[in-house]
Structure formats: C-alpha cells, structure tokens
A = this chain, B = another copy of it.
C-alpha cells in the first residue's frame, strides 16, 4: 500500500501546503501542472524535492481555472480534455526529465477527477491522452465497490490502473465516498484513520457509514499535507503501515 499526496500547489507569490513536511512520508507525489495551481518554477522545485525523497512523480492535471483551483466543473469536449491533459503532462514530464526524473503516472485533479469518475466520455478523453503518450503512464483513479468498468476502460487503452482509497473519508454501502455535506463524512479521530488505512492495506473490510462491512481494492491511500494535523495523520499512517520500501 502506497501513500499519495497532492503537492506543488503553490502559485507565484502564494504558498499552499507543507510540501517539505509531508514529502518524507509519501510514495507518490501528484504534482500540479500550472492550470489550477503550480507554475514552472514551482514545478521544478517540487520535482527536485520529490526526487530527493525518492518519491514517484505523478502529474495532477486540471481544468484551466486558477481562480477556482480546478474545483469547478467545466463543460469541455473530450478532445479538449485529451489535449489539455497532454499539454500539462508534457510540461511536467519535460521538467522532470530535465532534472533526471521520470513521470510515471497521472491523477486528474479536482473537478476533472470527479467528472472522469462519473462520465465515460471524459474518462476516454483522459485515457486517450495517456495512451498516446510517447512514454508509458499509469492512471490513478478512485476505487469503488465495483471497479470493473474502470478496469475495462484502462485495459482497452493498455493503461495500468492505480486504485486509490481514502483513510480519512467515510464510505457508504455502495463503496462511494460520503459527501462532505453529510455528518460523519470526514474522519477526525487519528485512531479511526489509522484503522481504516490498515484494513485497506491488509485487504480487510472497512466499516461503512451505515455500519456494514465493505471490501475495497486499493493500491494507494490519498493523504494530505495542508497543515500540521494532516501531517500528523500521514506520519501515523506511515508508522502503522511500515517504512517505505
């Protein structure tokens, strides 16, 4: 079980995230590519930081919406999505290469991520960008109770799939993340977070918000580096799961 984190989300004079503090504990860095956050200088700095810590490099492409931090859905044509994912992935991949690194996967950000999970045409748009890449790339996407459609789509494009789950979010019986607007949607207790992380890592069922048991496939857990509390949670998960290989 790996730990992945959204990173490199500063922009120009604005700082966001405690990248230096979370980097030692994670395996995979989802690096912003300039459309929702990140700028060329920040991207290079972030690639260097990740490489110093032996963290895998991933692209975190988004809708072109700095003002909305890529969190506002935009009605783009799938061909536009393919092109803008290729653009952002290429920019980061080249900066990584110029530092001696290799970009290995892509995790769409924010509204693009959500839209991709519920709209097959948008998923196709993303996958076409990955399958046309001159070097191999995996897709990181959200696990649910039934990943067959997602697996099939990736298989059609010959794209390896990395399934991510959340240790700090409640799931419902159908295997979907509970909306933040609902009470109990976000786990606050470190014990609960660590327990859910360990169960996911060991292939054991987790408890849903309804109290039932749920089995979820997962290759990686999404963690957060926003503040001291989330860094503490990442550290606790890391210790519970054991050292990075």
CB of A41 within 8 A of chain B? yes
A44 touches B95 (CB 8 A): no
Query: In the assembled complex, how far is the CB of residue A126 from the closest CB belonging to chain B, in whole angstroms?
Result: 13
Contacts of A72 in B (CB 8 A): 74-76
A134 touches B87 (CB 8 A): no
Of the 9-residue stretches A9-17, A155-163, A200-208, which lies at the interface with chain B? A9-17
Q: Which of A31-68 contact B (CB under 8 A)?
A: 34, 37, 39-41, 43-44, 64-68
Give Cα A219 to B132, complex, Å: 33
Q: Which of A77-95 contact B (CB under 8 A)?
A: 79-80, 83-84, 86-95
**Size bracket of the A interface:** 35 or more
Nearest neighbor of A45 in chain B, beta-carbon distance: B83
Contacts of A95 in B (CB 8 A): 83, 86-87, 90
Nearest neighbor of A133 in chain B, beta-carbon distance: B98
Give Cα A90 to B80, complex, Å: 18
Contacts of A39 in B (CB 8 A): 67, 83
B90 touches A94 (CB 8 A): yes
CB of A73 within 8 A of chain B? yes
Give Cα A16 to B14, complex, Å: 7
Query: In the assembled complex, how far is the CB of residue A103 from the closest CB belonging to chain B, in whole angstroms?
Result: 10
CB of A129 within 8 A of chain B? yes
CB of A111 within 8 A of chain B? yes
CB-based closest 7 A-B pairs: A90-B94, A97-B134, A40-B83, A14-B14, A98-B132, A13-B69, A40-B87
Name A residues whose Cβ lies closer than 8 Å to a Cβ of B.
10-16, 34, 37, 39-41, 43-44, 64-69, 71-76, 79-80, 83-84, 86-95, 97-99, 111, 129, 132-135
